[in-house]
Amino acid sequence: MVVASKNVVEPVFIVLAFTVGCLINRRRDTQITYNESLDDVEDQRYVDSPPLKPTLLQHIERPVRKAPNLFFVLLSRFFNAFPFLIEIWYWNLTYWIYQGLRAVSARAIAGNEPIFTRARDHAIQILTLESFFGLDIEQHFQSYIMNQQPWLMPILAKIYYSHISIGILFLIYIYTYLPPPTFQRIRRTIAIDNAIAFVIVTLWRCSPPRLLPQQYGFVDVLHSKAGGANVWNNNRFQLTIAAMPSLHFGTSLFFAVCMCRFSPHRFIRILAPLWPTAMLITIVATANHFLTDAFIGALVPLLGWRINRVVLVLKPIQDYIFAPLINRLDLVDSDVRAVPKTL
């Protein structure tokens, strides 16, 4: 019963969070005319987080239908009323492509002992490097937590497995309170971070400390019923040799930096650094990452932030996907349309 409840809690929370995100970003007046530019300019003024029109529609005038179709009228009003729905689509697209690639990779290397041996060798190389600089504290730190502060380990396990839920809350917050250009840049950065991380994970596979031979002294406290494991994070599609880089830490640090830099709420700016601090303690204490993994993980969003506009090469695909919906909305005024924010 307990395991079954764990399998349900996270999906239910995600659905509820997205529902709340849609409700708090609901537009009361669906007859707003949007004349926003598509330019991703940092100094654009923020007014009620207006959606932006795809470039595909900028120079094309569509004739107004004389007999509106009730279905598309209602659909138009629905998307105008709940613009955050499109962000749910974007999140699912980004998340499931990344997880799907990891799952394919996991199945492709299943049973390939040379690859797993090489991943262990890479992990030992990291330990050797850290030992040279006096940074190999992971095993001692985990041992201290397990023996001196055992009450803390279940809390750390919950922190580790909550990174998706926290990411969704972060997305809802920045959509609600940040200017569209800033939100778009952050969203693009998260997407490009996944791509960068997957390339590293594929080209340089590395075992986490918990999978090293017993003589290294690490204990796997996460992937068990006591550690909070469930069907979503402990199955045959999980890519286990993916310690480098640590997106758990890199993404948490990126969230904190964004909050400190852009949040209009002082208490959020004050509390934000606590999340990456807790995540760093967690990934080391649970033997899921080395400190070096965390360091490289922190560099991934830095690179992603600088090259985030690479994602804009996909903009024609976005326009192609959403243009049919937008062009078929049977509205008297072609400017009054609910359209997705640009990439």
Domain borders along the chain are 2-327
The residue among 48 and 244 whose pLDDT is bigger is 244
The residue among 63 and 274 whose pLDDT is bigger is 274
pLDDT at residue 192, as a whole number: 96
DSSP secondary structure code for residue 56 in this structure: G
pLDDT at residue 111, as a whole number: 85
With 50 as the cut, is the pLDDT of residue 181 above it? yes
Phi first, then psi: give them for residue 61, nearest 5 degrees: -95, 125
Average pLDDT of the chain? Answer: 82
pLDDT at residue 331, as a whole number: 43
Residue closest to 301 by CA, chosen among 218, 191, 200, 139:
191
With 80 as the cut, is the pLDDT of residue 2 above it? no
With 80 as the cut, is the pLDDT of residue 166 above it? yes
pLDDT at residue 29, as a whole number: 61
Q: 265 with 256: CB under 8 angstroms? A: no
The mean pLDDT value for 287-295 works out to 96
> By three-state DSSP, how is residue 226 classified?
coil
Structure token pair of residue 299: 């560099």
pLDDT at residue 163, as a whole number: 93
How many whole angstroms separate alpha carbon 18 and alpha carbon 76?
20
Residue closest to 210 by CA, chosen among 254, 261, 153, 171:
153
The model's confidence at residue 127, banded by pLDDT at 50, 70 and 90, is very high
How many whole angstroms separate alpha carbon 273 and alpha carbon 218?
28
Half-sphere exposure of 12 (CA within 13 A, CB side): 6
